[in-house]
Structure 1
Amino acid sequence: MVVDMIKIIPANVGQIKIIQKIAQKTWPATFSSILSSKQIDYMLDMMYSDEALQAQITNLNHCFLLAAQDDVYLGFLSYETPYKGEAKTKIHKIYIMPEAQGLGIGKKLMGAVEAIATNKGDKQLLLNVNKHNEAEKFYKYLGFEIIATENIDIGSGFLMEDKVMAKEVNK
């Protein structure tokens, strides 16, 4: 697989099933060592049901980018800009299929969202990462720094324990 042949394309509500398929495959691989299977199932339903994704796209101003090679979808990223009415872009999700990790697809998706943020004149990229998620190393490699921690009650007795990371753009 050659990363130069990977296309980054905007997703629409008609591609919700593709996003769900990637989430269903990546979440257990990503979180099984840090979250219970019950919490993974709860969060997948909460964030990736048809209704949840449709609301994210149509009501919450979340934009999804898909990474694809020859009609094979390898990952996605979702972002929101402006975030909370400020010159910031919030990266809500980024997941790469387990078999495609380490090939530069995540870097390509992050580069695409950084270009979008830069073109809009945003000053900062933001994201949350679980405090035990190995992806934190990837974000640091890309220039993100930890700026805060937060615990988010997501219901049913579950808590997201996150680090908030930021990267300055348009300096």
Structure 2
Amino acid sequence: MLSLSEATSTDFKTIQYIANKTWPVTYGGILSKEQIHYMLNLFYSEKALLENLNQKGHLFLLVEEDGVCLGFASYEHRYLNQEVTRLHKIYLLPEAQGKGAGKFLIDTIENLARQNHSVAISLNVNKFNKALSFYKKIGFEIVAEEDIELGYGGYKMEDYKMEKVL
């Protein structure tokens, strides 16, 4: 049975482990190894995670089954001072994908978003990420394209901005 818990800074090693296991599988056919390494360091260093948790107001959830952590999500209510909940990250271990854990995380975040008076959930997803079909299947729609320069080595994120109206 799946269960959720709110993550704290003591869970950062678990979050980093999942990111390091997931990113090469998710992005290996999309990004260079160098860019994956750069982005993992940029987004998942202890400093970056602490800043997200303590200064940016991101909340982290861990999803577990039988005591084993399968994945995590991070989100933020009132994103950019709007009535929107932002799904910043959601990653599941490759062996956990397709078992309902991602839907469980998103359903939970949707319920929390409604409780916090959000009218929508927004996210960005790489244009070539296989998760794009998952997001469409559960009601997210593409509302814009966004290329984000990362300021190093010419790396950029080529994303769709997606939204689900609640």
TM-score (norm 2): 0.98
Match of 2:130 among 120, 129, 134: 134
Match of 1:65 among 47, 61, 84: 61
Corresponding letter in the other structure for 1:24: N
Match of 1:11 in 2: 7
Q: C-alpha distance in 1, partners of 2:43/2:25?
A: 17
Q: C-alpha distance in 2, partners of 1:98/1:28?
A: 10
Within a 5 Å distance, the mapping from 1:14-163 to structure 2 comes to 14-156=10-152, 157-163=154-160
Q: C-alpha distance in 2, partners of 1:90/1:27?
A: 20
Indicate yes or no: 2:162 matched with 1:165: yes
Q: Structure 2 regions of 5+ residues with no counterpart?
A: none
Alignment deviations for residues 58-108 of structure 1 (CA, whole Å, 9 cap, x no partner): 011111100012321100010011101111000000001000100000000
Alignment deviations for residues 111-170 of structure 1 (CA, whole Å, 9 cap, x no partner): 01000001111001000000111101000011000000011011212000000000001x
Q: C-alpha distance in 2, partners of 1:118/1:8?
A: 18
The alignment-based identity, stated in percent, is 47
Corresponding letter in the other structure for 1:154: L
Number of paired residues? 165
Q: Which sits farther off after the overlay, 63-72 or 50-59? A: 63-72
Corresponding letter in the other structure for 1:161: E
Q: C-alpha distance in 2, partners of 1:151/1:158?
A: 10
Q: C-alpha distance in 1, partners of 2:67/2:12?
A: 15
Question: Structure 1: which 4+ aligned runs deviate by more than 4 Å?
Answer: none
Q: C-alpha distance in 2, partners of 1:8/1:138?
A: 20
TM-score (norm 1): 0.95
Q: C-alpha distance in 2, partners of 1:78/1:153?
A: 22
Q: C-alpha distance in 2, partners of 1:30/1:99?
A: 12
Q: C-alpha distance in 1, partners of 2:67/2:46?
A: 22
Offset, 1:9: 1.0
